[in-house]
Structure 1
Amino acid sequence: MTSMFAQELDQPAPIAQAPLTWRETARPAPAAGQLEIHVVACGVCRSNLHMIEGDWVDGGVPAISPIIPGHEVTGYVSALGEGVTDFQVGDPVGVQPLWSSCETCEFCTSGRENLCHDRKITGEHVNGGYAEYMIATAAHTYPVPASLDLVESAPLFCPGITAFAAVDKLTVGPGDTVAIFGLGGVGHMAVQFAALTGARVIAVGRTPEHLEVARELGAADTVDSRDPEALAAIADSADAVITFAPADVVTEQAFGVLKWGGTLVNGVPLTLAEFPFNKAQTIQASVIGTREQMREVLELAAAGKIRTVVDSFEMARATEVLSSLADGALRSRAVLANPGVTA
């Protein structure tokens, strides 16, 4: 049996109980239409933590046991399944959360495959990138431009595409103001995409380090969400608001900043106590992103118009890194990497 090392989850449990195990396991082989990736890096997302700790068990996630988490993956093609002609062994590639879609439903055939009811999510329904190797669907694998570093590029495949899709729902430009609430890995990318529209960007968060990074990435103003006076100063000032913090208090703050007639895009669940119609505000939900949008994100990164802010750790340290994420101790996006991987 050909083997590899991977972080496997047998049973969801609090991260403090160390439910992940870095161990030797079977190395997968690609089937028709698939390819094998020698993983260079995989970003660490809060949704990984939700799955590992069992928050989504009632929704059928994780779908298999054991499972290898991780859904923002970069690496080199190491083997091709039957019928795969768009890639060659050694190509630098990436995989985002959308691992596969049915390709035949109304959403897939209209370029909205992220809404496919039969979609599979990387690292939740199938094994993901917390490993030395993983299997990907060729139709949902993306060439990574040669100019991009594969470790630094890993977050493009979740925070990058998620933030781009949210900003892409807005019609904003010079003279407009966009407020971003929730400055984790996704929020920092959204600051950059919103700034590219020419709009003035206000970054709102509660962690000084996150606010500092937002300023570095183009936010015109930063606001501490724990400061009522600072929030009051920007009340009713934003033409659009994007939220990435799944907390009712943040949603309330966001609507306080949103102008009458403005648009709120939520990339997380939200709960509304009331929604006054007389303000004529609009709510749009945003989930992952499409293949076309993913390609646009990579083009922008290759052109130097956006960048990631990452801290890299060895793949074997996943539990430690996830614990830091749970404690709010990460400055931006953590990335797990396999040292020494080459094409």
Structure 2
Amino acid sequence: MDGRARLADAGYMHAITLNQPAPLAENPLHWGEVPTPSPGPGQLLIEVAACGVCRSNLHMIEGDWVDGGVPGICPIIPGHEVTGTVVAVGGDVDGFTTGDRAGVQPLWWTCEQCAYCTSGREQLCHRRRITGEHVDGGYAQYLLSNAAHTYHVPDTLDLTEAAPLFCPGITAYGAVQKLDLGPGTTVAVFGLGGVGHMAVQFARLTGADVIAVGRSADHLRVARELGATRVVDASAEDPGRTLADSVDAAITFAPSDTVTEQALAALVWGGTLVAGVPLSVSDFPFNKEQTVKASLLGNRAQMNEVLALAAEGKVRSVVDRFPLREAPEVLGMLAAGKLRSRAVLENRAA
């Protein structure tokens, strides 16, 4: 009997747990055995195939969000972009059965009753619970999910490559959907990591010209491969000056005031900036009548649209694969800027 079978029979699983937030250098993550959860009403138990590694995981682990109540519990299992197979179904669940391929994004639960939930903006629900931040996430062999926020993964998609669709994919799609793009328009995407490389593809689908702006040679190379009309190396030139007053829209995924200033400088008068990250703006040029919008994830209908586009081969995630137990090392690579696009942890035999 292998280790995986032994653990399953004993009601335990392997997982990466965070007992207390601390800098990554202090080794706050632990690989070990924890009890395997059981699904209650409205819940599913998913055997994890893969879980993407997001910079927000790093923020939580290192304690950057403690003042905001994140993590909501400790110890906690991080990870919020997850794919796998349903192995148990709780009561009062329709639409899922054991053996189904499934995916879970950051939005783990919403109240379904507030004005946001009833108007297709459930990502703004004030009572929302986030996967891997308020409840255990996908850095584990098994994940407990809320069926109302679980998605069917099309059979044509590789489960590892599909995992980033559930955070970078929906985040990028939601941002692009906030813009009026089409043939004859130009959009600049600032920040080409896990989310940015997806945004380049969704923007290209509108028919717009897409300018990819980044500092990493790997990121710029991937953007070219995915259809960017032009790339700008921010490590060699100032994108604000290079693109001054020339793009109809800009999307930022780099949490930097300098990047925000560059994006606003690149915009035409009357243009729109969509920020997928926190930002601050000083000396805003009001006379240019530019618009700034924020974007957080997307709703359930949009998530299913992302999956459909991926199943049709119109978009894809670029991933580097690692064993689940190597999560601390992978997070270190993310912090050091050494990843090509999206790192994905695979639930290989322990």
TM-score after normalising by structure 2: 0.96
Where 1:185 maps in the other structure, the secondary structure is: coil
Partner of 2:237: 228
Q: Deviations 1:58-86 (Å, cap 9, x if unpaired)?
A: 00000001000000000000100111121
For residue 272 of structure 2, the aligned residue among 233, 250, 263 is: 263
Partner of 1:130: 139
CA distance in 2 between partners of 1:281 and 1:27 (Å): 51
CA distance in 2 between partners of 1:86 and 1:165 (Å): 25
CA distance in 1 between partners of 2:124 and 2:147 (Å): 19
Where do 1:86-125 residues align within 5 Å? 86-125=95-134
Where 2:263 maps in the other structure, the secondary structure is: helix
Partner of 1:185: 194
Please identify, of 223-232 and 272-281, the stretch whose mean Cα deviation from structure 2 is larger.
223-232
Q: Deviations 1:207-242 (Å, cap 9, x if unpaired)?
A: 111000000001010001133366423211110000
2:11 matched to 1:18?
A: no
For residue 166 of structure 2, the aligned residue among 157, 160, 184 is: 157
Please identify, of 220-229 and 80-89, the stretch whose mean Cα deviation from structure 2 is larger.
220-229
For residue 63 of structure 1, the aligned residue among 72, 86, 93 is: 72
CA distance in 1 between partners of 2:267 and 2:238 (Å): 16
* 1:178 aligned partner, one-letter code: V
CA distance in 1 between partners of 2:170 and 2:326 (Å): 25
Q: Deviations 1:39-68 (Å, cap 9, x if unpaired)?
A: 000000000000000000000000001000
* 2:25 aligned partner, one-letter code: A
CA distance in 1 between partners of 2:151 and 2:84 (Å): 11
CA distance in 1 between partners of 2:184 and 2:253 (Å): 24
Structure 2, gaps ≥5 residues long:
1-9
Provide the alpha-carbon RMSD of the alignment. Answer: 1.1
CA distance in 2 between partners of 1:230 and 1:148 (Å): 36
2:218 matched to 1:197?
A: no
CA distance in 2 between partners of 1:223 and 1:85 (Å): 48
For residue 279 of structure 1, the aligned residue among 278, 288, 312 is: 288
2:251 matched to 1:242?
A: yes
* 1:110 aligned partner, one-letter code: S
For residue 72 of structure 1, the aligned residue among 78, 81, 95 is: 81
Structure 1 residue 340, shift from structure 2 partner? 5.8
* 2:101 aligned partner, one-letter code: P
Over the matched positions of the two proteins, sequence identity in percent amounts to 65
Where 1:254 maps in the other structure, the secondary structure is: helix
Runs of 4 or more consecutive aligned structure 1 residues displaced over 2 Å after TM superposition: 226-233
CA distance in 2 between partners of 1:209 and 1:340 (Å): 30
2:180 matched to 1:171?
A: yes
Q: Are the counterparts in 1 of residues 85 and 99 from structure 2 also a CA contact under 8 Å?
A: yes
Q: Deviations 1:175-194 (Å, cap 9, x if unpaired)?
A: 00000001110000000000
For residue 304 of structure 2, the aligned residue among 291, 295, 304 is: 295
2:41 matched to 1:45?
A: no
CA distance in 1 between partners of 2:240 and 2:267 (Å): 11
TM-score after normalising by structure 1: 0.98
CA distance in 2 between partners of 1:175 and 1:227 (Å): 28
CA distance in 2 between partners of 1:313 and 1:227 (Å): 32
Q: Are the counterparts in 2 of residues 5 and 22 from structure 1 also a CA contact under 8 Å?
A: yes
CA 229–244 in structure 1, closer or farther in 2 if over 3 Å, else same: closer
Partner of 2:348: 339
Q: Are the counterparts in 1 of residues 240 and 263 from structure 2 also a CA contact under 8 Å?
A: no
For residue 309 of structure 1, the aligned residue among 305, 318, 342 is: 318
CA distance in 2 between partners of 1:242 and 1:33 (Å): 37
CA distance in 2 between partners of 1:34 and 1:275 (Å): 47
* 1:268 aligned partner, one-letter code: V
CA 107–230 in structure 1, closer or farther in 2 if over 3 Å, else same: closer
- The alignment covers a number of residue pairs equal to 341
Structure 1, gaps ≥5 residues long:
none
* 2:229 aligned partner, one-letter code: A
